[in-house]
Amino acid sequence: MSGNLLYRQPILRRPDGVGGALPALTLITLFFVVPVVALLLRSVTEPVPGLQNYAILFGDGTYARVFFNTFLVATVVTAVTVIVAFPVAWMLAIMPPALGSIVFGIIILSMWTNLLTRTYAWMVLLQRTGVINRTLMDIGLISEPLPLINNLTGVTIGMVYIMLPFMILPLVGTLRAIDPMTLRAAALCGASPFDAFRRILLPLSLPGIAAGGLMVFVMSLGYFVTPTLLGGTSNMMLAAMIAQMIQSLLNWGLGSAAAFILLLVTMALYALQLRLVGAKRMTGGI
Amino acid sequence: MLLDYDRLGWLRAALLGFTGLIAAFLLLPVVFIVLLSFGSSRWLAFPPPGWTLKWYEELFADPAWLEAALTSARIATMAAILAVLIGLLASFALVRGQFRGRNTLRGLLLTPMVLPVVVFAIAIYAFFLRIGLGGTTAGFVIAHTVLALPFAIIPITAALEGFDKSIEDAAIVCGASPFEAKLRVTLPAIKIGIFSAAIFAFLASWDEVVVAIFMASPTLQTLPVKIWGSLRQDLSPVIAAASSLLVLLTLSLMIVTALIRRKLSK
């Protein structure tokens, strides 16, 4: 092909070689890789060289509780998000477009609205004298306000709210890619709707569920804003603890050791996700 | 039959009902905050005892809010422009380049989207303190460009992958220089991708809270930092007023995006 011939000439090949990536590579190396590596080095050099920061983190019950809280919340949030997102994505995949575009519009509006705005709304909605407690008391379901904020319940509600679009949107793609004929065939062969769901629809959507669920889990592990505002001080999660160690306690050694643990877990799960869906699919996601 | 909308039977009613419920759940905080911003109760009672515009008056009377919004707009615009330019160049290399480690490079450039932002925030905070960029506009722009870059690269590489390169080759064979061919053939063809990149990159900076909290100085505050500061003090209705304006901005952005996408795809 003549195109190939042209691109063998160095002068035509150069713009599409690695050269174009140099500004991006420089930016990321200088202002991302170097600062992060420098931070992680502090975890084994401050206050004195050694692994004492990690020994403190793993040896102290207070920190163990923060790690436990973080994994607990991320697990619960992921489970709830997957269960809630699946039926919605299922409907969105097959709904008439006119109706579907309204639901899509609401999802995008929620997703694009300022994160602090959404969290603020939940702070007001969930407080002791908030609308939810008032309504429940007015209709007589409860006599005392439920503790919905400054605990893990509040964090879970707020986090599920934020994560739902990230689970629904990719799942719609997965479900749309399934050929409806396979399910028609199942019905013709006598499968009950429940059997068709359990043995065909669910297994075929499993890759999408796994990829989306993993993404939600990873994002939840390192989330800072919502857990900090809805969780209160006694239910600290890992990201908030790291910020506090640096900002208020100025303990850079301990803070960067905790950051390293978060980074390691995140990157391991990210690698797993890449293997699951492939880098191509990930980058074509938007 | 489970994927045939018209033949779902009773399941359809159940699924539609559930979808409606979740849509309401997603809409609830947004609508609630807008209603609250017009309510007259300082203690955020709902439904409000009366309606008022005083929270908006209070918001506009305090120059710190407007200043923070302008700072955010300035930083987000610069970060978005830089991220799109750098991302565009990188996308050509990532999609068309023939070099070893291309997938690794792609993974590396997308990492800022995956790494928990709190880790990056303290890292860049420490780094900028050392090199004297802490609390400066330049520091903000650089940090936000790093975070926005993946959001620029993803839609541009997707658009570029969908573009048939032989059209660009044809322009070169017809006498255009490679640069000219890219500028006048390829770029117009992937403009929707570039436009999405600009929107996502802008929002990535505009909405960014964590890096901003660490980087902010008393004289340099973005809007999220200002909201964060107010939230930690009390749940004043002025925040509801500011939030409602942000919702309005999101809505306008969605409408503009839809219109431009429709126009561009013609």
pLDDT for A93-145, tens place per residue? Answer: 999 999 999 999 999 999 989 999 999 999 999 988 888 888 888 888 888 88
Kindly report which listed range (A2-11, A97-106, A275-284) carries the lowest average pLDDT score: A2-11
SS3 of residue A48 by DSSP: coil
Q: How confident is the model at residue B228 (pLDDT cuts 50, 70, 90)?
A: very high
Q: pLDDT digits over B70-116, tens only? A: 999 999 999 999 999 999 999 999 998 888 888 889 989 999 998 99
Q: What is the mean pLDDT of residues B43-71?
A: 90
Q: How far is B151 from chain A (nearest CA, A)?
A: 9
- Same domain? For A119 and A234 the reply is yes
Q: What is the mean pLDDT of chain B?
A: 91
Indicate if A64 and A20 belong to the same structural domain: no
CB–CB contact B146 A259 (8 Å): no
For residues B14 and B128, membership in a common domain is answered with no
For residue B116, what is the nearest residue in chain A, using CA coordinates?
A222
**A 159-178 residues with CB < 8 A to B:** 161, 164-165, 175, 178
Q: Span B210-234, mean pLDDT? A: 91
User: Contact, B212 vs B224, CB < 8 A?
Assistant: yes
Contact A160, A80 (CB under 8 A): yes
The 10s digit of each residue's pLDDT in A161-204 is: 999 999 999 899 999 999 888 888 888 888 888 888 898 899 99
Indicate if A164 and A258 belong to the same structural domain: yes
**Mean pLDDT score of chain A:** 87
For B48, nearest residue in chain A (alpha carbons): A131
Residues A105 and A138 in one domain: yes
Residues B97 and B158 in one domain: yes
Residue B20's domain spans which residues? 5-37
Looking at residue B125, which CATH number applies to its domain? 1.10.3720.10
Residue A124 forms part of a structural domain: yes
Domain count for chain A, please give it: 2
* A41 and A180 inside one domain: no
Kindly state whether residue B168 falls inside one of the protein's structural domains.
Answer: yes
Are A31 and A65 in a shared domain? no
Check whether residue B19 and residue B71 sit in a common domain: no
Q: Which chain A residue's Cα is nearest to B226? A: A116
Measured between alpha carbons, how far is residue B36 from residues A127, A150, A225, B65, B237 in Å? Answer: 15, 22, 22, 19, 7
CA distance B193 to A265: 32
The answer to whether B240 contacts A95, with C-beta atoms less than 8 Å apart, is no
Based on the fold, state whether residues B21 and B141 are members of the same structural domain: no
Residue A101 within a domain = yes
Contact yes or no for B156/B96 (Cβ under 8 A): no
Structural domain harbouring A133: 60-283
pLDDT at B241 over 90: yes
- Please report residues of B whose CB lies closer than 8 A to that of A149: none
Give bridge partners of residue B116 from the DSSP assignment: none
Neighbour tally for A30: CB within 10 Å: 13
Helix A252-283 with A238-247: angle, nearest 10 deg: 140
**Whether A177 contacts A211, CB under 8 Å:** no
Contact list, B112 vs chain A (CB under 8 Å): 28, 32
A165, A200: one domain: yes
Q: Give yes or no: residues B82 and B119 share one domain.
A: yes
Q: Which of A31, A107, A224 sits opposite B146 (nearest CB)?
A: A31
Shortest CA gap A259–chain B (Å): 6
Q: Are residues B113 and B227 in the same domain?
A: yes
Q: Is A90 on the interface with B (CB under 8 A)?
A: yes
* Overall average pLDDT of the B153-167 stretch: 91
Kindly state whether residues B27 and B86 are assigned to the same domain.
no
| Residue A92 and residue A226 in one domain | yes
B84 plus B197 within the same structural domain: yes
- In chain B, the number of structural domains is 2
Does A271 have pLDDT greater than 80?
yes
Q: Is the pLDDT of residue A1 over 50?
A: no
For residue A10, pLDDT over 60 is answered with no
A89 neighbors B19 (Cβ within 8 angstroms): no
> Is the residue at B253 inside a domain?
no
Judgement on whether residues A38 and A74 belong to the same structural domain of the protein: no
Same domain, B81 and B18: no
Summarize the confidence of residues A72-101 as an average pLDDT.
95
Q: How many beta-carbon pairs under 8 angstroms link A with B?
A: 303
**pLDDT band with cut points at 50, 70 and 90 for residue A13:** very low
Asked if residue A15 and residue A130 are part of one domain, the reply reads no
**Are residues B200 and B99 both part of a single domain?**
yes
Would you call A229 an interface residue with chain B, using a CB distance cutoff of 8 Å? Answer: yes
- Nearest Cα of chain A lies from the Cα of B246 at a distance, in angstroms, of 7
List CB contacts (< 8 A) between A201 and chain B. 2-3
Interface test with A, best of B27, B100, B119, B165 (most A CBs within 10 A): B119
d(CA A142, CA A136): 6
φ, ψ of residue B147 to 5 degrees: the values are -70, -30
Query: Which has the higher per-residue pLDDT, B50 or A76?
Result: A76
Report pLDDT digits (tens) over A194-251: 888 898 899 999 988 998 999 999 999 999 999 999 988 778 899 999 999 998 889 9
Q: Which residues of chain B are within 8 Å of residue A262 when distances are taken between CB atoms?
A: 116, 118-119
Confidence category of residue B262, pLDDT binned at 50, 70, 90: confident
Per-residue pLDDT tens over the stretch A41-63: 999 998 889 899 999 999 888 89
Does residue B71 lie within any of the structural domains? yes
Is A14 in the same domain as A76? no
Residues B97 and B153 reside in one and the same domain: yes
CA distances from A154 to A126, A148, A159, A211 (A): 7, 5, 8, 26
For residue A59, the distance in angstroms to the closest alpha carbon of chain B comes to 22
Rounded to an integer, what is the distance from CA A49 to the centroid of its chain? Answer: 34
Q: Are residues A68 and A19 in the same domain?
A: no
